Structure 1
Amino acid sequence: MKELENGKKKLLITGIILIIITACAAGILAYGSHKNNQKAAAKVQEESVQRASQEQSLAAQKEQEQEARSIAEAELQKALSEAQSRDESIAASEAESREQAQKEAEEASIAQEKAEQEAREEQERQAQGAGLAERLAGYETVSRPAGSTGDIICIDPGHQSRGNNGKEPEGPGSQTMKTKVAGGTGGVVSGVPEYQLTLTIGMMLKTELQNRGYTVVMTRESNDVDISNKERADIATAAGAAATIRIHADGVDSASASGASVLVPDSSNPYIPELAGSSSQLGSCIINSYCAATGMKNRGVVGSDNMTGINWSTNPVALLELGFMTNPTDDANMQDDTYQQLMVHGIADGIDAYFGR
């Protein structure tokens, strides 16, 4: 019995020892496993850190490569832009040089054409001058004793240095008001104003008519006056003029219009219809003689009923348009000294013809 109990105790002790050994072994195994797990985790972490480091390194390398490519591309773009700018600058310079050369060639061509044109015009002027001088030499000087004809001629050089925009009746008893005196036209070539040309011809005509025995009354003998168209007609009336010659020059927008004409009151004129016949005869004599002497185109006699200077006249009246100052040829001719003498001879011959001399 005692041996049996001892046997049980031994078994119990042995069991306990086995349990302890098993527990220790399990602990040892667990500890070893834990250590292994720690090592594995550390290794995994290390590998993760290495991979992260490698990835960062690769990212940094890629970033550096991208930056390098960007810099290279920027440098290339800059180089291309500079090259393009140089090319454009060279092209612009070459274009400017070509344009300048073309401009200089055109200017040279224009200058040559102008010089040739001026040479032709000078030759024409010389030829015309010789012809005019020859024509003038063919005129016989008409000379009569002073005042011997007994006729008084009123010469009215049209316009004045400053126009007067004031108003006056168009004719006796008229309710229509017209500008007292207009400014007139001017020469497109000479630059001479109409009022200056008309006074020049008017004063020359005065001398010529006086030499032919006429008594002459001038409405003005200077440009610095202020005399309305009605007042000019009144001067002729007060002087007892046998005829009034109004001297003017034409001007229009077209440079092609040329020639001389005469304006007179016609039979339908509401103010002086009784002077239509004698005025028309006076105008015809003047325009025909004038154009024959000068070679100016004859535009004929034109009836008028709206010109104040004509409508207030009390004696035969004719307004001579010497030529077109807006026509280069007419304008140049009318400024030529010899041509002006022919103009005056033509007008005076017309007046002589009207009075039967």
Structure 2
Amino acid sequence: MTYEPAADRYEKMTYRRAGRSGLKLPAISLGLWHNFGDGRPWDRQREIVLRAFDLGVTHFDLANNYGPPAGSAESNFGRMLAADLRAHRDELVISTKAGYHMWNGPYGEWGSRKYLVSSLDQSLRRLGLDYVDVFYHHRPDPDTPVEETMGALDAVVRSGKALYVGISNYSSEQTAEAARVLRDLGTPLLIHQPSYSILNRWTERDNLLDTLEEAGAGCIAFSPLQQGLLTDRYLGGIPDDSRVRTSVFLNESDLDARTMGRIHALNDIAGRRGQSLAQLALAWALRDPRMTSLIIGASSVGQLENNIAALDNASLSKEEIDEIDATVLDL
């Protein structure tokens, strides 16, 4: 059956401008990091992606190594583009990244021009696209000059393989230098993708949003739900199929008594607001207008819908923000 997107999809979503650019992103974007590899049913993946688009999610975030196996998320999303979304390509913002290990040998990771251009070419083949909207350098390279890495990002824009460029996991100081090099090259930095959540405040300590504002760039946070900690997933214990059991990014030590006490206290705040814990966490992460978007994952349509519903009650009072800070920070 031919897919027809919801006619009212753009009435359901809030859009925010990325820095001083002309590009707007949905306040919540869909990331294809964990649940879109070959180990997950393709029909379920397709259902989530199409429902996201029906709800006004126009931005789909990928990377070369997303899966598993690496590359499979791009291939699976490429199938969805070909089968359902090709007619809507100009309504979509599709991003991908390169920086982590992708293939063997000295040219398969980090930040050389050789690796970045080769990786993007591979990503485009898997996606079945002529260009992506945003191409990110996924992590700083301690050995490659920033001029080479940013020069590669500039080159892929000039070649037509990407419309905009971004960086991810860069410190504030590294971000300022990257933005300066890109500005001098004539391809401004569009956006930075850091980790950020109620429990993960490094961007605040590093003044990253101030640096991005000065550079005219936006910010899009990943892991705003702290790998599922800021959901109801662990309120009653550790499920056997949870990321604590199955992922290298979260382990049982992350759920110590102190952390769980904070999570239960945050859940109480969410309950008083008539929200789930996840919805509170997303509303909190969007409280600064300089935060362009948040990247969420989803393993089901219901989870996706619940998280996007955070936008129905996204305003936090100063008193609520202060209470959240008192709950999680050593004030």
Per the normalisation by structure 2, the TM-score is: 0.24
- Greater per-residue helix proportion: 1
Per the normalisation by structure 1, the TM-score is: 0.22
Structure whose CA Rg is larger: 1
